[in-house]
Amino acid sequence: MTERFTGSFTQQEPIPDDAIDAAVAVMRTGRLHRYNVADGEAGEVALLEQEFAAAMGAKYALATASGGAAMATALRACGVGPGDQVLTNAFTLAPVPGAIASLGAVPVYVEVTEGLVIDLDHLSALAETVAYKTLLLSHMRGHIADMDALMAICDGAGITVIEDCAHTMGGAWDGVMSGQHGAVACYSTQTYKHLNSGEGGFLTTNDPDIMARAVILSGSYMLYDRHLAAPGPEVFEKVKYVTPNVSSRMDHLRAAILRPQLRKLAQQCARWNERYDRVEAGLRGTPGLTLIDRPKKETYVGSSIQFLLLDWSEKAVSEVLRRCASRGVELKWFGGAEPVGFTSRYDSWRYAPVEKLHKTDRVLKSIVDMRLPLTFSLEDCDLLARIIRSEVGAVWQAGQTA
């Protein structure tokens, strides 16, 4: 009998009951705007920011309308402006170059390695030729580069690092939480990320001046003293007249459903990793399939898994995807010239100039990606691995004998 998978790759777990109760309680007050609080009340957003800063090991946190809004705010707060060139990963998702372009700045792409992290040799070569000021570093699909080496390159070249931690909330490098290496870190709470408020995001930083600018940018009017995870009023005095309001605030309703989820983040990350490790174990040793080595120093959150079909023809990769899909296994391919669903390539963002990146092209052509929602059981994960293994094996064998 041919096994089939019947689960849904887009089905997240329900919002927990305590979060639903908190949301209903907020709605009963009618006070949904973050600065609409009763006497003596801190408000769900300010409390969430305080708790999020503590959970990420940061001094300050700001809750935003989306991860993209957090990145654009971070870039502005770090002084990026129109025409500035901002380094970023060639392997990432559309909100990253989009945040750069939203400021009238220009993304400059850095190559990706077979380990799916930013290529530090290419980064250092770029840093030597042009005086870049900013790197928007995407920890794409949760793969973390050697952050000590990366920071040495960027510190040496005077480059400010902004981390896109959309896929590393809860992860770490060598025991240091992801997001604690650069000047600012950005997170997303969009439905498919590690916390789910539909849309939403955060930025964290330890720098009081960046934080004060970020708070005013996000749309605080002169109500910044209502923030609990922000510097004192003397820091805001320096920036309050010269920082524009680019409204991108989070509201109490979303904060209310995030606070109970945040308390369970570590537990959820452990559940993702159980699933990741099961699929990875089931795929190990499949001929023609390359797993991504996870460095010892990396604490990852396996909310999705990637493998490479290195140097396979487009036809053979498509055949694997087609055969897996016919058995209910939804795989995404990052190699397609046309952007499809959430996958797109650095050269499909045609608003920005591109240099051909040969190393990246080879890797992108080989990346196969699968989401691992927590609604999948461990037995589901074993089944997924068996199906992928058999279909990759069948196409690989046909290629060997052709």
Ligand X SMILES: *Cc1c(COP(=O)(O)O)cnc(C)c1O
Q: How far is the CB of 348 from ligand X (least distance, A)?
A: 15
Q: How far is the CB of 68 from ligand X (least distance, A)?
A: 3
Among 166, 250, 257, 395, binds ligand X (CB under 6 A): 166
Among 19, 77, 96, 211, binds ligand X (CB under 6 A): 96
291 DSSP β-pair partners: 307
Nearer to ligand X, 305 or 392 (CB): 305
Selected range binding ligand X among 87-95, 202-210, 285-293, 370-378, rule: CB under 6 A: 87-95
CA dihedral sign, ordered 54, 55, 60, 66: negative
Residue nearest to ligand X according to CB distances in the complex: 67
Q: How far is the CB of 66 from ligand X (least distance, A)?
A: 4
Among 73, 85, 88, 92, binds ligand X (CB under 6 A): 92
The answer to whether the CB of 204 falls within 8 A of the CB of 52 is yes
335 binds ligand X (CB under 6 A): no
Selected range binding ligand X among 49-57, 88-96, 267-275, 327-335, rule: CB under 6 A: 88-96
93 binds ligand X (CB under 6 A): yes
Q: How far is the CB of 81 from ligand X (least distance, A)?
A: 21
Selected range binding ligand X among 38-46, 64-72, 103-111, 351-359, rule: CB under 6 A: 64-72
Selected range binding ligand X among 62-70, 154-162, 222-230, 297-305, rule: CB under 6 A: 62-70
Q: What is the largest CA-CA distance in the chain?
A: 76
Whole-number Å distance between alpha carbons of 308 and 275: 19
373 binds ligand X (CB under 6 A): no
Selected range binding ligand X among 29-37, 38-46, 89-97, 124-132, rule: CB under 6 A: 89-97
Q: How far is the CB of 369 from ligand X (least distance, A)?
A: 11
Strands 201-205 and 184-188: antiparallel
Among 68, 107, 182, 302, binds ligand X (CB under 6 A): 68
Among 78, 140, 320, 331, binds ligand X (CB under 6 A): 140
Among 85, 134, 138, 168, binds ligand X (CB under 6 A): 138
Q: How far is the CB of 93 from ligand X (least distance, A)?
A: 4
The count of chain residues that interact with ligand X, using the rule CB under 6 A, is 16
95 binds ligand X (CB under 6 A): yes
The residue whose two tokens read 């990852």 is 300
188 binds ligand X (CB under 6 A): yes
Among 164, 319, 380, 391, binds ligand X (CB under 6 A): 164
Among 66, 73, 113, 299, binds ligand X (CB under 6 A): 66
| Footprint (CB under 6 A) of ligand X, residues 190-249 | 190, 193, 201
Nearer to ligand X, 138 or 220 (CB): 138
Q: φ and ψ at 370, to 5 degrees?
A: -140, 130
Q: How far is the CB of 252 from ligand X (least distance, A)?
A: 19
3-class SS letters over the chain: CCCCCCCCCCCCCCCCHHHHHHHHHHHHHCCCCCCCCCCCCCCHHHHHHHHHHHHHCCCEEEEECCHHHHHHHHHHHCCCCCCCEEEEECCCCCHHHHHHHCCCCEEEEECECCCCCECHHHHHHHHHHCCCCEEEEECHHHCCCCHHHHHHHHHHHCCEEEEECCCCCCCEECCEECCCCCCEEEEECCCCCCCCCCCCEEEEECCHHHHHHHHHHHHCCCCHHHCCCCCCHHHHHHHCCCCCCCCCECCHHHHHHHHHHHHCHHHHHHHHHHHHHHHHHHHCCCCCCEECCCCCCEECCCCEEEEECCCCCHHHHHHHHHHHHHCCCCCEECCCCCCECCECCHHHCCCCCCCCCHHHHHHHCCEEEEECCCCCCHHHHHHHHHHHHHHHHHHHHHHHHC
Binding site for ligand X (CB under 6 A): 66-68, 92-93, 95-96, 138, 140, 164, 166-167, 188, 190, 193, 201
